[in-house]
Amino acid sequence: MMQALVKKYAKPGIWMESVPIPKIGVNDVLIKVSKAGICGTDLHIVNWDDWAQRNIKPPRIIGHEFVGEIVELGAEVEGYAVGDRVTAEGHITCGLCRNCLAGKKHLCASSIGIGGGCDGAFAEYLAMPVTNLWRVHDDIPSEIAAILDPFGNAVHTALSFDLVAEDVLITGAGPIGIMAAAVSRFVGARHIVITDVCDYRLKLSEKMGVSRTVNVAHEKLEQAVSDLRMSNGFDIGLEFSGNPVAFNSMINSMYHGGKIAILGFLPPTTEISWDQVIFKGLHLKGIYGREVFETWYKMTQMLRSGLDISPVITHRFPMQEYKDAFDVVRSGLCGKVILEW
């Protein structure tokens, strides 16, 4: 048996339970989890909001950001050994559809996420298909390896367009927006302006090389544009807030021909000025997950080349203190929060 955080009932809450250690198939490995990151999605599941009620079927072990060590190999597994430090792509794809066959797993229409569609990583042990594993390079600390999943969201979004010498607007200074700012700086963006309504998070983003923070609750984005003497507007927009007001301010402040990558889950009722999109010739791209495994490669090599995302980790809790950890995430006064066994 093992300890795990289980969404046991269809109501708000999360429960530490004793459950069986997962059995592995011939092409799976069993991983002993050492550290895990809390994602906004986990909080949705704990809070049992509309999205969670529509998408999660209890009982379910939650969590999808993790690092650990292989403790058992399926009979057909090659290329890995017991003791290897690994994390994994949390989207399990069908392997059969057009996009999977073309090596574009991030576009698989039948992908299932661990910690949501199947059991996840807030557990002492986790079974993963070997094809989802990502070996953690010796240069990368385990704490950073535990958040490669959300870092990968940031990298996938930020590397969607050429940022060199471009003026970049980032809406939403949550952990993913902040990491995207660090990537934008690392690859050579010119000005990076980041917006939020939370001073704690804007302050954190200053450690990641942004040119200007804007608290849109009491400052105008136009002021930042004029302070930075940007003549045209933003060339690149990276949306991480999931907030329609933020998205509209982005659309309005883009230069003609600008490109926007959208990761934040905007509500279906979001309205925008389509005139702006059409007459400015804007490009809009939706981003889901990570490109498997090209994003993982780029993440590893940027980290090994000096990109430092460590300031984004602000809190660490023993797994047993999960209630306090979720309270910190709920408060918004944090970057990434790590749970440790």
Instruction: Specify the stretch interacting with ligand NAD by CB under 6 A; choose among 6-14, 172-180, 250-258, 302-310.
Output: 172-180
Considering the rule CB under 6 A, would residue 171 count as an interface residue with ligand NAD? Answer: yes
List 111, 132, 211, 243, residue binding ligand NAD (CB under 6 A): 243
Nearer to ligand NAD by Cβ, of 160 and 300: the residue is 160
Nearer to ligand NAD by Cβ, of 2 and 328: the residue is 328
Catalytic residue among 44, 64, 156, 191: 44
Per CB under 5 A, contacts with Zn ion among 93-112 are 93-94, 97, 100, 108
Residues 75-96 as b or e (16 or more Cβ within 10 Å = b)? eebeeeeeebbbbbbbbbbeee
List 91, 201, 259, 298, residue binding ligand NAD (CB under 6 A): 201
Residue where the block lists tokens 């905007």: 266
User: Coil, helix or strand for 264?
Assistant: coil
What is the residue-wise DSSP string for 78-100? -S--TT-EEEE-SEEP-S-SHHH
Considering the rule CB under 6 A, would residue 240 count as an interface residue with ligand NAD? Answer: yes
| Contact between residue 246 and residue 195 where contact means Cβ atoms under 8 Å apart | yes
CA torsion through residues 299, 177, 222, 249, sign: positive
H helix intervals, the chain: 40-47, 50-55, 98-101, 142-145, 148-158, 175-186, 199-206, 221-227, 244-252, 274-279, 294-304, 322-331
Closest residue to Zn ion, judged by C-beta, is 108
Closest residue to ligand NAD, judged by C-beta, is 174
Nearer to Zn ion by Cβ, of 108 and 158: the residue is 108
Contacts of residue 274, defined as CB under 8 A and 6 or more positions apart, other chains included, come to none
Cβ 112 to Zn ion shortest distance, Å? 10
List 174, 208, 255, 341, residue binding ligand NAD (CB under 6 A): 174
CA distances from 71 to 138, 144, 257, 314 (A): 18, 21, 51, 29
User: Coil, helix or strand for 319?
Assistant: helix
Identify whether 41 is a catalytic site residue.
yes
Considering the rule CB under 6 A, would residue 195 count as an interface residue with ligand NAD? Answer: yes
Identify whether 157 is a catalytic site residue.
no
Per CB under 6 A, contacts with ligand NAD among 89-148 are none
Footprint on this chain of ligand NAD (rule: CB under 6 A)? 40, 153, 171-177, 195-198, 201, 216, 240-243, 245-246, 263-265, 287-289
Footprint on this chain of Zn ion (rule: CB under 5 A)? 93-94, 97, 100, 108
Which residue numbers are catalytic?
41, 44
